Structures are given as C-alpha cells and as structure tokens.
Amino acid sequence: MIAMPPRDEQDFENRRQQIIDGALQVFGTKGFEKANNKDIAVAARIGSPGLIYHYFNKYRVLTW
C-alpha cells in the first residue's frame, strides 16, 4: 500500500471541505439514499472514492 504524503492542516481541512461540498451536490441531485462514494468522489474531484475514508473515519461518514 502506498502511504499518503504528509499534508499540512490547512490542506487537509480544505480537502475535507471539498469532499463535503461534493457530497452535498450529489445529495441534492440524487438524494441521500441513492448517493454513493464514487459519485461523491467525482463531484469532489478526488481521484478515488476510498480517499473519503482518509479524511473521514467510516463511522463519521455514515452519520453525517
């Protein structure tokens, strides 16, 4: 597995916000029930749906 390069705190928070914005966009168009990580990753312009779990632990992602 390839380790993520270190990021400073501001970059980390900016990327988290980018993911939240992408999620809100997907929820607005598809609804919460039909949204998935792939759709959110595309909307957030991140390379992999799995990166969402780097920025949010799996329990937080499930309870936003």
Are the beta carbons of 46 and 52 closer than 8 angstroms?
Answer: yes
* Domain covering 9-63 in this structure, CATH number: 1.10.10.60
pLDDT band at 57 (very low <50, low <70, confident <90, very high): confident
Average pLDDT over residues 32-36: 92
pLDDT tens for each residue of 9-18: 889 899 999 9
What kind and span of H or E run contains 10? Answer: helix 9-30
Burial of 44 (0-12, 13-18, 19+ CB in 10 A): buried
Average pLDDT of every residue of the chain: 84
DSSP at 45: T
